[in-house]
């Protein structure tokens, strides 16, 4: 267990000394556990998933249910002159048609950048933007009806590139914004003295890196079913990661009190960040259901998921790094331009995440960055696993490898020599409460044989590694208030069954099992006595949602808080029955034991209910406040940080340029293991997604037209393309985490692409700075030719053209 | 889910009924449906009538004959891939069947369906809304080609994985129609036109594939970026005869191309010169051209390593 030492620790900037107010130190951190960390316990919802019993949104059928389809824009940027829906309305079976003007209230993920409407109003901004919704008796009729709607457009000049977006002479995509500009957000921060840092360096190298756009490809497409209820209320089932924010948004846009909208997240077939926003499917199904007074389903086609997007921002990056001859990083200067597409989505946050996390995991005293998130007429980007932090991590880790090579140093030792320790505060105020990155690095170096094999494998085979840091939730929610970020209520029935009510959204990652594990650990019972009722706004206390890797840390603590209140009540009555002190009782293996005698769980529950009434309790979690450094822009600080090290072994076919990733070793500091198989599964998923982004995935456009909006041509790895994955769980016992746990769902993806790039260098001696490392690019590099399509760096800020 | 267009489905159990039905205007044959059904969902066509081959028993099965092998057109690919007879005499055919789509697709897709696979193009095999945004194309609801703007023809690529090996194995096809039947060489099935892609007459269909006794070792390679699912970026089959060698290449143009070299070692260069990949795929054309030489060379080496000397 990490002890909390006096601040400041290594790497602390004096000005931040008194800013950090620690979150509650959790008494359960480092405690012995029976359920937490125990392998072989089946996931509580596993059987329903593998037998097909799980109910996803598109499985829902209701009496009189209508089906809706969307008509989407064929233009990247155009004015809508007219919409003729007469033919569609005349089609037998068509029930209603909806256009943007029917529901014009603006919404958007971030309160300061609300630029979306349910359907386009007067103007379309990307190919695939929803323009008209049609509800009909059957899906086939709705499909036919949208194809006979005539929309007249006046095409407008389209903003396609980063350069276009930075050109103030070109019109803004959102002219009605408060300060119209195609620069959604520019962030500039300077910590320490970067120029002095470069002066102190023995080697300074600059590099440019392009990271491509990619998308999430969840198995389940977005879908919503809306059902009107008596007294003007509404029930909405939707495939979402963020029931709470979608609930608020739907109520506001429809002009309804939040209490009149019941949002239910059924089983969800994954999100990876792509289901964090409120979408046309939610709003149009709701509006049409109210208009028709009958249930309406709107489930997206696979193609539509590509347009809905909110995926990885294509990002151009520049980095300048100074290093001492011993490998010590003296300064980092970083710039990034992210092509964000036509809507803000979470783009304000992206602009910060592109920069702030670069202050870790190494101790860097001098650090400066300028990042920009830009609007273009492409489908909107948003959060994808490793949101915003992943692209710069690729650049920095590839860059460190180059510098280590130039200095004749072992890249693993360069990293190991300057890892931030715990507790410490980074130069930009990120407080590291726990870290085991040193051990993660050691694990992958040993497992992969990195030190002995780097530079010594036959030509065409190589090993590479990288490390990374990620957050465990944000200290601030999306809108500022003093309310808890996670709430959990627990009710215990006299049958012994424990029901956990939580506003969380299990989207397959296992958060339900996490809640059941922590509660059953505190109560000394099996997780399979627990039922989790989650993602239902009528039944569950608010949890902010499955984003920013926050759920285990925050909802986990809330669940323990609630469980401990019940444990205390049960202990009080059990202690009387067992004639002992409540503090001396042990809750374990389904019984409550004193030193001499014990009570079966169910007996103890009945005694407690008899003595104190119905057994229920609530718990909540509120993160600590961010320090002064984040008062104005509280984006980046987290109650804890996870750390990862990964090594990759690749084969490069020098005749074809084809890269095969044979094996990836990924060691992740997740604080404490709650369920080993689920944690390993998350790491495997991260490695898998990283391999896809390294070798295959890229959103390509012809102008505004996405070239491959299908899972046939947008290639994600198959099982044959997936390496052997060694998922290594490393514990650091974070003082604020539930039993010391931190996140494991996103962080492990961050080092994968740079580890593969560095392995390609080791294999064939070429630097691949622009993923994906497709065979044509690798072959060009092997032929000594410059990469295609690498553009000069854009300016740091919009500048008027010389006339 | 993308709805299918409305159509009538006929499932005849006699070959006579079948040939009568497929002669009807606006009809299409459906066997495994793994090519046709996605194309219907994308509204690349909307036939009035689908005629299923599923109940015609004589179209199914692999039979050894004195002259070689006959394979019924409705034989599913996994049956061919798992056939001992095919493995012994025509291993490259089994290999090619195993590269089609995925193992589940191989349980549905038929060999006749693979021979009749529609030509494919990045600008064609897309949902209808996508195609509307580019104004359609020559093959479907448009009048420009996005692959070769100045071209007058359609360049959609022949993409049938089993064809290059069957071509080099000397396959012939027994065709049937209400008017009777005829026998053609496999290469004569294909026209070099992405739209009118075969030479079949209206109402004519493949009944079976007739393979002569094995003549020399044929090697087969399928270039794709993933180990499964993908359509080919390049198909290469190579056979040696004497000191020379012949390659059949596909996924480059609407019809496979055949390249012969008197001296086997010249084959990669000759194939490279003959191959003209176009922007019909989402993958670099320059790289696909480069890979012609690499793949032919590797296929040639395979004939040395594994085939009769």
With an 8 Å Cβ cutoff, are A718 and B133 in contact?
no
DSSP conformation letters of A67-85: EEEEEE-SSSSEEEEEEE-
With an 8 Å Cβ cutoff, are B129 and A72 in contact?
yes
Find the largest Cα–Cα distance for chain A: 91
For chain A, the residue count is 803
Tell me the pairing of strands A261-264 and A234-238.
parallel
**CA A295 vs CA A55, A228, A232, A702: distances in Å:** 17, 6, 13, 39
Asked if B173 and B182 touch (Cβ cutoff 8 Å), the reply is no
Q: What is the pLDDT of residue A14?
A: 35
Closest residue by Cα to residue A137 from A361, A323, A296, A317: A296
Closest residue by Cα to residue B3 from A138, A56, A72: A138
Q: What is the pLDDT of residue A24?
A: 67
What mean pLDDT comes out for the span B276-295?
96
User: What dihedral angle (degrees, nearest 10) is formed by the CA atoms of A22, A24, A25, A29?
Assistant: -130
Find chain B residues with C-beta within 8 A of A776's C-beta: 283-284, 286-287
Asked if B175 and B184 touch (Cβ cutoff 8 Å), the reply is yes
Find chain A residues with C-beta within 8 A of B230's C-beta: 712, 715
With an 8 Å Cβ cutoff, are B294 and A721 in contact?
no
> CB-based burial of residue A163 (10 Å sphere; 0-12 exposed, 13-18 middle, 19+ buried)?
middle
Of the partner residues A707, A774, A779, the one whose CB lies closest to the CB of residue B122: A707
- Kindly state the tokens that stand for A693: 């982004």
With an 8 Å Cβ cutoff, are B129 and A74 in contact?
yes
Find chain A residues with C-beta within 8 A of B3's C-beta: 139-140, 143
Asked if A539 and A533 touch (Cβ cutoff 8 Å), the reply is yes
b/e A58-79 (16+ beta carbons within 10 angstroms → b): bebebeebbbbbbbbbbbbbbe
Find chain B residues with C-beta within 8 A of A779's C-beta: 287, 290
Find chain B residues with C-beta within 8 A of A303's C-beta: 126-127, 129-130
How many helices (H) does chain A have, and how many strands (E)?
19, 30
Which stretches of chain A score pLDDT less than 50? 1-20, 803
User: Å from B94 to nearest chain A CA?
Assistant: 19
Asked if A219 and A270 touch (Cβ cutoff 8 Å), the reply is yes
Asked if A319 and A391 touch (Cβ cutoff 8 Å), the reply is no
Q: What is the pLDDT of residues B102-111, one digit of tens each?
A: 999 999 999 9
Find chain A residues with C-beta within 8 A of B6's C-beta: 140
Find chain B residues with C-beta within 8 A of A139's C-beta: 1, 3
B287 touches chain A (CB under 8 A): yes
Rounded (10°) angle between helices A775-782 and B285-306: 90
Q: What is the pLDDT of residues B207-246, one digit of tens each?
A: 999 999 998 899 999 999 999 999 999 999 999 998 999 9
Please enumerate in sequence order all residues whose Cβ is within 8 A of that of A560, keeping only pairs 6 or more positions apart, or say none.
A26, A28, A518, A519, A522, A619, A738, A739
Q: What is the pLDDT of residue B305?
A: 65
DSSP B141: B
**CA A174 vs CA A113, A121, A166, A701: distances in Å:** 11, 12, 14, 22
**CA A538 vs CA A18, A511, B37: distances in Å:** 41, 20, 42
List the end-to-end C-alpha distance of chain A, in Å, as a whole number: 64
Closest residue by Cα to residue A480 from A270, A635, A597: A635
B229 touches chain A (CB under 8 A): yes
Rounded to whole angstroms, how far apart are CA atoms A135 and A128?
19
Asked if B217 and B306 touch (Cβ cutoff 8 Å), the reply is yes
B290 touches chain A (CB under 8 A): yes
- DSSP bridge pairs for A489: A501, A618
Quick one: closest CA in B to A299, which residue?
B1
- Kindly state the tokens that stand for A387: 């949101």
Q: What is the pLDDT of residues B132-179, one digit of tens each?
A: 889 999 999 899 999 988 777 999 999 999 999 999 999 999 999 999
Question: Which of A134, A712, A777 is the mutation pick for testing B, counting most B CBs within 10 A?
Answer: A712
Residue % of chain A over a pLDDT of 90: 91
Residue with tokens 């040639």: B300
The sheet with strand B234-241 has its strands ordered as B218-223, B234-241, B244-250, B257-261
With an 8 Å Cβ cutoff, are A709 and B127 in contact?
yes
Q: What is the pLDDT of residue A21?
A: 52
Asked if A319 and A396 touch (Cβ cutoff 8 Å), the reply is yes
Rounded to whole angstroms, how far apart are CA atoms B91 and B109?
19
Closest residue by Cα to residue B260 from B271, B250, B272, B275: B271
Ramachandran angles phi, psi of A798, nearest 5°: -60, 130
Residue with tokens 């193992």: B103
For chain B, the residue count is 309
Q: What is the pLDDT of residue A636?
A: 86
**CA A188 vs CA A1, A79, A342, A354, A369: distances in Å:** 37, 35, 23, 11, 6
Rounded to whole angstroms, how far apart are CA atoms A778 and A622?
48
User: Å from A146 to nearest chain B CA?
Assistant: 10
- DSSP bridge pairs for A322: A204, A331
DSSP conformation letters of A367-393: EEEEEEEE--SSSPP---SSTTTHHHH
Closest residue by Cα to residue B281 from A692, A707, A781, A305: A707
Rounded to whole angstroms, how far apart are CA atoms A264 and A786?
52
Rg (alpha carbons) of chain B, rounded to whole number: 19
- Note if the bond before A361 is cis, omega within 30 degrees: yes
Quick one: closest CA in B to A699, which residue?
B282
- Kindly state the tokens that stand for A558: 């809330």
Rounded to whole angstroms, how far apart are CA atoms A228 and A234?
5
Q: Can you list the alpha helix ranges (DSSP code H) found in A173-242? A: 194-199
Rounded to whole angstroms, how far apart are CA atoms A337 and A524?
51
Quick one: closest CA in A to B290, which residue?
A656
Find chain A residues with C-beta within 8 A of B294's C-beta: 655-656
Find chain A residues with C-beta within 8 A of B228's C-beta: 718-720
Rounded to whole angstroms, how far apart are CA atoms A271 and B107?
31
Q: Among residues 166-205 of chain B, which lie with CB inside 8 Å of chain A?
A: none
User: Å from A99 to nearest chain B CA?
Assistant: 18
The sign of the CA dihedral A427, A430, A432, A433 is positive
Query: What is this model's ipTM?
Result: 0.96
- Note if the bond before A423 is cis, omega within 30 degrees: yes
Residue with tokens 């840390």: A553
- Kindly state the tokens that stand for B253: 């143009």
- Kindly state the tokens that stand for B210: 């007739």
Cα within 13 Å of Cα(A578), Cβ side: 27
DSSP A333: E
With an 8 Å Cβ cutoff, are B1 and A301 in contact?
yes
Rounded to whole angstroms, how far apart are CA atoms B152 and B44?
20
User: Å from A158 to nearest chain B CA?
Assistant: 15
**CA A627 vs CA A9, A91, A362, A630, A632: distances in Å:** 16, 60, 20, 6, 10
User: Å from A315 to nearest chain B CA?
Assistant: 21
B284 touches chain A (CB under 8 A): yes
Rounded to whole angstroms, how far apart are CA atoms A168 and A803?
13
Of the partner residues A72, A139, A715, the one whose CB lies closest to the CB of residue B225: A715
pTM of the predicted model as reported, rounded to 2 decimal places:
0.96
A108-A110-A112 Cα angle (round to 5): 100
With an 8 Å Cβ cutoff, are A774 and B132 in contact?
no
The sheet with strand A586-588 has its strands ordered as A586-588, A591-593, A598-600
B291 touches chain A (CB under 8 A): yes
Helix (H, G, I), strand (E, B) or coil at A178: coil
User: Å from A238 to nearest chain B CA?
Assistant: 16
Rounded to whole angstroms, how far apart are CA atoms A552 and A639?
12
């Amino acid at each position: 267990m990490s002890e909390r030492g006096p601040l400041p620790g290594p790497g602390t900037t004096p000005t931040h000394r008194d800013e950090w107010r620690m979150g509650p130190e959790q008494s359960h951190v480092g405690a012995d556990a029976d359920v937490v960390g125990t392998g072989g316990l089946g996931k509580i919802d596993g059987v329903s998933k593998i037998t097909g019993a799980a109910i996803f949104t598109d499985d829902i059928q209701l009496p009189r249910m209508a089906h809706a389809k969307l008509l989407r824009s064929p233009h990247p940027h155009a004015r809508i002159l007219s919409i003729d829906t007469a033919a569609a309305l005349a089609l037998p079976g068509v029930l209603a048609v909806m256009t943007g003007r029917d529901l014009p209230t603006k919404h958007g993920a971030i309160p300061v950048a609300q630029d979306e409407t349910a359907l386009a109003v007067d103007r379309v901004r990307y190919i695939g933007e929803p323009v008209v919704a049609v509800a009909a008796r059957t899906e086939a009729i709705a499909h036919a009806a949208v194809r006979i709607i005539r929309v007249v457009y006046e095409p407008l000049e389209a903003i396609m590139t980063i350069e276009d977006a930075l050109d103030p002479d070109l019109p803004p995509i959102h002219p009605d914004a408060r300060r119209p500009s195609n620069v959604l957000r520019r962030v500039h921060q300077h910590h320490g003295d970067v120029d002095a840092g470069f002066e102190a360096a023995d080697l300074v190298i600059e590099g440019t890196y392009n990271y491509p756009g990619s998308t999430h490809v969840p198995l389940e497409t977005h879908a919503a079913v809306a059902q009107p209820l008596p007294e003007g209320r509404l029930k909405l089932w939707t495939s979402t990661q963020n029931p709470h924010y979608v609930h608020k948004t739907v109520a506001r846009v429809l002009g309804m009190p939040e209490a009149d909208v019941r949002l239910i997240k059924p089983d969800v077939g994954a999100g990876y960040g792509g289901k964090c926003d409120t979408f046309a499917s939610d709003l149009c199904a709701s509006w049409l259901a109210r208009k028709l007074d009958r249930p309406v389903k709107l489930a997206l086609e696979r193609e539509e998921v590509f347009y809905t997007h909110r995926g990885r921002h294509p990002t151009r990056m520049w980095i300048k790094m100074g290093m001492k001859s011993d490998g010590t990083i003296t300064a980092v200067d970083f710039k990034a331009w992210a092509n964000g597409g036509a809507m803000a989505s979470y783009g304000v946050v992206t602009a910060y995440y592109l920069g702030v996390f670069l202050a870790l995991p190494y101790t860097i005293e001098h650090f400066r960055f300028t990042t920009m998130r830009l609007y273009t007429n492409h489908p909107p980007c948003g959060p994808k696993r490793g949101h915003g932090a992943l692209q710069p991590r690729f650049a920095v880790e590839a860059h460190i490898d180059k510098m280590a090579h130039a200095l004749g140093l072992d890249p693993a030792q360069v990293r190991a020599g300057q890892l931030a320790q715990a507790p410490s505060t980074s130069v930009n105020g990120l407080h590291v409460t726990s870290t085991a990155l040193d051990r993660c690095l050691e694990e992958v170096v040993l497992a992969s044989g990195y030190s002995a094999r780097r530079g010594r494998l036959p030509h065409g085979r190589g090993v590479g590694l990288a490390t990374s840091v990620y957050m465990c939730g944000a200290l601030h929610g999306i809108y500022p208030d003093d309310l808890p970020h996670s709430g959990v209520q627990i009710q215990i029935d006299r049958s012994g069954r424990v029901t956990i009510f939580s506003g969380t959204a299990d989207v397959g990652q296992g958060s339900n099992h996490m809640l059941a594990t922590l509660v059953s650990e505190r109560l000394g019972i099996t997780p399979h006595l627990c039922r989790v009722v989650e993602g239902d706004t009528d039944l569950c206390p608010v949890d902010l949602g499955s984003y920013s890797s926050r759920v285990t840390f925050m909802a986990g603590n809330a669940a323990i808080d609630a469980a401990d209140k019940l444990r205390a009540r049960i202990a009080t009555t059990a202690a009387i029955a067992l004639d002992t002190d409540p503090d001396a009782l042990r809750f374990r293996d389904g019984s409550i034991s004193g030193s001499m005698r014990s009570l079966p769980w169910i007996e103890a529950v009945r005694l407690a209910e008899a003595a104190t009434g119905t057994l229920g309790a609530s718990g909540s979690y509120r993160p600590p406040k961010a320090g002064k450094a984040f008062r104005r822009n509280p984006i980046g600080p987290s109650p804890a940080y996870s750390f990862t090290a990964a090594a990759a072994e690749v084969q490069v076919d020098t005749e074809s340029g084809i890269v095969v990733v044979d094996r990836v070793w990924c060691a992740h500091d997740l604080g404490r293991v709650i369920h080993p198989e689920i944690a390993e599964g998350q790491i495997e998923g991260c490695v898998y997604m990283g391999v896809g982004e390294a070798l295959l995935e890229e959103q390509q456009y012809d102008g505004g037209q996405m070239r491959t909006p299908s899972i046939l041509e947008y290639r994600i790895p198959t099982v044959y393309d997936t390496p052997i994955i060694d998922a290594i769980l490393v514990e650091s016992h974070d003082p604020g985490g539930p039993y010391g746990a931190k996140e494991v769902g996103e962080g492990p993806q961050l080092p994968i692409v740079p580890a593969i790039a560095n392995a390609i260098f080791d294999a064939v001696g070429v630097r691949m700075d622009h993923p994906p490392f497709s065979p044509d690019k690798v072959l060009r590099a092997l032929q000594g030719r410059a990469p295609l399509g690498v553009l000069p760096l854009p300016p740091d800020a919009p500048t008027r053209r010389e006339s | 889910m993308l709805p299918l267009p409305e159509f009538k489905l006929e499932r005849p159990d006699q070959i006579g009924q079948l040939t009568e039905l497929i002669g009807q205007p606006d009809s299409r044959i459906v066997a495994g449906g793994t090519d046709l059904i996605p194309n219907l969902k994308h509204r690349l066509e909307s036939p009035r009538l689908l005629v299923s081959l599923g109940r015609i028993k004589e179209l199914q099965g692999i039979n050894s004959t004195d002259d070689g092998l006959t394979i019924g057109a409705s034989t599913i690919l996994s049956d061919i891939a798992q056939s001992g007879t095919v493995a012994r005499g025509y291993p490259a055919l089994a290999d090619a069947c195993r590269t089609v789509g995925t193992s589940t697709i191989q349980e549905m897709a038929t060999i006749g369906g693979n021979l009749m696979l529609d030509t494919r193009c990045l600008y064609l095999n897309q949902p209808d809304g996508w195609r509307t945004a580019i104004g359609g194309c020559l093959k479907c609801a448009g009048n420009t080609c996005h692959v070769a703007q100045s071209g007058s023809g359609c360049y959609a690529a022949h993409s049938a994985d089993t064809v290059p090996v069957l071509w080099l194995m000397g396959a012939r096809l027994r065709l049937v129609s209400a008017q009777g039947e005829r026998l053609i060489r496999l290469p004569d099935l294909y026209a070099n036109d992405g739209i009118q892609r075969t030479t079949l007459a209206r109402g004519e269909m493949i009944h079976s594939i007739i393979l002569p006794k094995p003549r020399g070792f044929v090697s087969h390679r399928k270039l794709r970026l993933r180990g499964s699912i993908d359509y080919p970026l390049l198909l290469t089959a190579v056979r040696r005869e004497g000191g020379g060698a012949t390659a059949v290449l596909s996924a480059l143009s609407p019809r496979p191309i055949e390249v012969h070299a008197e001296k086997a070692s010249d084959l990669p260069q000759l194939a490279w010169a003959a191959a003209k990949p176009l922007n019909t795929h989402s993958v670099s054309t320059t790289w696909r051209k480069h890979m012609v030489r690499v793949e032919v060379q590797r296929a040639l080496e395979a004939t040395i390593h594994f085939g009769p000397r």
